[in-house]
Structure 1
């Protein structure tokens, strides 16, 4: 017997409705595409995402999601997301699924 059954037993006259919560996407979708670049910094390969015009708080959330899904390290500095390694293709797919326009910059 779960909690909903217990509540129905306690309050038989009340009409319980399960509310469907829409998928929450609080990220700012923009007109200009995000730039996905390949850079070498201190001899290491990095993928840099730049060009986000929304709040930096939202961009930090996006950075954390990308790092978690890829299982790699990275950082958020100077309104750029820096991901360790060359993951341009996978990052571009993930961003397109979220509804962003993405432009590949560089080779």
Structure 2
């Protein structure tokens, strides 16, 4: 991949000034909190999923890469599929109790919500 990706600069107004330096909005990505300071909630969701259940983990404070790493670790431990985006982790199926147990053992402040 090239460092000169034009899609990242859509909507940018260019300057002819020699001393102009472009700064991206949102470049300061949120720092990931330690496990003990995370306040995660695990709930069951089946809205807009054609009746299929997913375990939804919300409340993660940190970078998108750390969120994806945590998601990958959980999916591996549970042997299921899922995804991670927008600060949420989706795990296919109802694994709320097992997720709470796994995250608690890793030092996360986690609770089961709803049901």
TM-score scaled by length of structure 1: 0.70
Instruction: Write the mapping of 1:58-77 to structure 2, written as runs, cut at 5 A.
Output: 58-77=66-85
Alignment of 1:33 onto 2:39? yes
**Greater fraction strand:** 1
Match of 1:47 among 41, 45, 55: 55
Judged with a 3 Å threshold, the aligned counterparts in structure 2 of structure 1 residues 32 and 66 are, in CA distance, closer, same or farther, namely: closer
Q: Secondary structure at the match of 1:36?
A: strand
**Structure 1 residues 17-44: Cα deviation after superposition (integer angstroms, max 9, x where no partner):** xxxxxxxxx9732535201010102210
- The residue that corresponds to 2:103 in the other structure is 95
Q: CA RMSD in A?
A: 1.8
CA distance in 1, matches of 2:63, 2:51: 31
* Number of residues of Structure 1 aligned to a counterpart in Structure 2: 82
Moved >6 Å (runs of 4+): none
Alpha-carbon distance in 1 for matches of 2:38, 2:69: 19
Deviates more, 1:35-44 or 1:79-88: 35-44
TM-score, length of structure 2 as denominator length: 0.65
**1:62 match: secondary structure:** helix
- What are the ranges of 5 or more consecutive residues in structure 2 without an aligned counterpart? 1-31
List alignment gaps of at least 5 residues for structure 1.
Answer: 1-25
CA deviation string 1:44-99 (max 9, x = no partner) = 00000010112221111010000011100101122110000000000001000110
